[in-house]
Amino acid sequence: MQKLDPRGRKVKILATTGPASNSPEMLRRLFKAGADAFRVNMSHGEHAQHAKTMAAIRELEREFYRPVAILCDLQGPKLRVGSFKDGKAVIRHSGHFTLDRNPEPGDETRVELPHPELFGLLEKGQRLLINDGKIRLRVIKADDEKILCSAEVGGVISDRKGVNVPDAEIPIPALTEKDRKDLAFAMENGADWIGLSFVQRPEDLAEARKLMVGPDGKPRGALCAKIEKPMAVRRLDELIEMSDGIMVARGDLGVELEPQEVPPLQKKIVNATRLKGKPVIVATQMLESMIESPAPTRAEVSDVANAVYDGADAVMLSAETAAGDWPEEAVTIMHKIAVQVEQDEDYVERVRLLDTPPDPTTADALSHACMTIADTVPIAAITVFTGSGSTARRVARERPSVPMLVLTPEMRTARRTALLWGAHSVATKDIGSFEEMIAKGKRMALRHGFGTAGSKLIALAGVPFGTPGSTNLLHVVTLKGDELDKRED
């Protein structure tokens, strides 16, 4: 067993697996380059391959003695047009085009829309975006059989292209039959997070939560709501409340909204999630050019840097690591960008531009005190003893200037907090007394590179130990060189 040094940054990197990266050797390289967590995209690939990938990630945990989060991302419902006589057709700019329920192959004037729930729902003036917005239709008239549209932007349309409906709440569940099977697979194979796609309303999350409960009645994973539809933005606060974390899925947001609307919306989502003390991931096209190029554009570097300055818990690589030519290089450059930003003398001030006043609870008051003490006294790290991870989330919400060493007896908690800002998670044996807590905190800090002899640590925990929600103890200790021993923790 070997150990990696602490990453030297607080923001986390989530790398998507795929044909370019799902071999054990490449996963190992990505992990060593800086990936803290891996996303398994259930839209592509077979369960057999996903199981091998997840098993290989667990081997990395054992090899490097560091918990790794696995996020299984569900495909969600996909709206698609039917097929065409010649496999494709051309829709004329400003011409009329009809979507109907006729299953016969389409042509340049019409095509089937095999989604009966849309008929009778759409109204005059609403938009239909096809093939990621490359074709833009505006509804002229809609009834239970046909939707007559004007083509604001025409072009080539081919079989089974996707359809986005940004102006209406579609009465379809967020979980398809495929999603239910994929979710069951993810739970059986120990996924730590589930990414729920095309969320529109809180009820979508409630359905997924029920399916994530294990035989013991406890949740088997954390739920991440992907914000990618305007309807979700309108109910953002409810969705944050119902979820364990949020992903800013800028790809589909950029299709359903005007491009210039996405950057301020990204900041709004990040801030709203941070205020609730839950992890927020910024995703999609962050280093897109590195799918084919060994170096990113300057604009992409600035995009990643801005997400780090905004205080996002994690930044995500998609096709760059899943199918790109330079997966390891993409992780490496994202790591370098994050480290450089966090070394900026103005970083702490900028990441705290969002005011996160503590709730009127002892746990929040102590978490806020950790930040204040670390700003006042030279502190090497904050050691947080937690069973559920809630104390770690409270401390991370304050964005302290020093790293957080999360010590927990629950491996699933250690894995989930691998996506949490500033957290270095360690699964360790439980503690039973104050003296044991202090001694173990010192040992683990020295063992994992958080301080040396003479360094000060903040210890945060709850007494009685093992009682969820009992955070009520803060203690500052000084490390001694002889406190590191070889006992099993």
- Assign residue 116 the CATH number of its domain: 2.40.33.10
290 and 205, same domain (yes or no): yes
The residue from 10, 161, 226, 399 that is catalytic is: 226
pLDDT (tens digit, 9 = 90+) per residue, 343-379? 999 999 999 999 999 889 999 999 999 999 999 999 9
Question: In this structure, how many other beta carbons lie within 10 angstroms of the beta carbon of residue 109?
Answer: 12
188 and 111, same domain (yes or no): no
Contact, 173 vs 204, CB < 8 A?
yes
Specify the pLDDT at position 464.
77
Instruction: Compute and round to an integer the Cα radius of gyration of the chain.
Output: 24
pLDDT (tens digit, 9 = 90+) per residue, 182-194? 999 999 999 999 9
Place of tokens 């990441």: 351
Place of tokens 């084919």: 292
Using CA atoms, how far residue 54 sits from 192, 200, 245, 332, in Å, is: 11, 29, 21, 22
Q: CB-based contacts of 211: which residues, under 8 Å, 6+ apart?
A: 175, 180, 183, 184, 187
Low-confidence ranges of the chain (pLDDT < 50): 1
pLDDT (tens digit, 9 = 90+) per residue, 147-190? 999 999 999 999 999 999 999 988 888 899 999 999 999 999 99
Contact, 253 vs 228, CB < 8 A?
yes
Kindly report the backbone phi and psi dihedral angles of residue 372, in degrees, each rounded to the nearest multiple of 5, phi listed first.
-65, -45
Report how far residue 440's alpha carbon sits from residue 430's, in angstroms, rounded to the nearest whole number: 10
In the annotation, is 220 catalytic? no
Specify the pLDDT at position 465.
73
95 and 219, same domain (yes or no): no
- Is 373 within the bounds of a domain? yes
3-class DSSP state of 356? coil
142 and 182, same domain (yes or no): no
In one-letter notation, the amino acid at residue 181 is K
Q: Which two structure tokens, joined as six digits, stand for 134?
A: 């490359």
Specify the pLDDT at position 378.
96
The residue from 80, 134, 201, 447 that is catalytic is: 80
- Assign residue 381 the CATH number of its domain: 3.40.1380.20
Report how far residue 201's alpha carbon sits from residue 122's, in angstroms, rounded to the nearest whole number: 19
Specify the pLDDT at position 489.
64
458 and 388, same domain (yes or no): yes
- Is 352 within the bounds of a domain? no
Report how far residue 315's alpha carbon sits from residue 421's, in angstroms, rounded to the nearest whole number: 11
Report how far residue 261's alpha carbon sits from residue 265's, in angstroms, rounded to the nearest whole number: 6
CA dihedral 229, 230, 234, 237 (to 10 degrees): 40
In one-letter notation, the amino acid at residue 312 is A
Report how far residue 75's alpha carbon sits from residue 77's, in angstroms, rounded to the nearest whole number: 7
State which residues form the domain around 448.
362-483
In the annotation, is 226 catalytic? yes
Using CA atoms, how far residue 285 sits from 37, 115, 254, 289, in Å, is: 18, 29, 11, 8
The residue from 53, 98, 284, 428 that is catalytic is: 284
Calculate the CA 352 to chain-centre distance.
Answer: 21
Q: Among the three residues 105, 132, 164, which one is the final residue of a domain in this structure?
A: 164
The residue from 9, 10, 39, 250 that is catalytic is: 39
Maximal CA-CA distance, the chain = 80
Specify the pLDDT at position 82.
96
231 and 301, same domain (yes or no): yes
Q: Which element (helix H / strand E) includes 100?
A: strand 96-100
If one counts the domains in the chain, the total is 3
* Mode of pairing for the β-strands spanning 456-462 and 423-427: unpaired
Say whether pTM exceeds 0.85: yes
397 and 458, same domain (yes or no): yes
Q: Which residues pair with 193 in a beta bridge?
A: 71, 222
Specify the pLDDT at position 487.
59
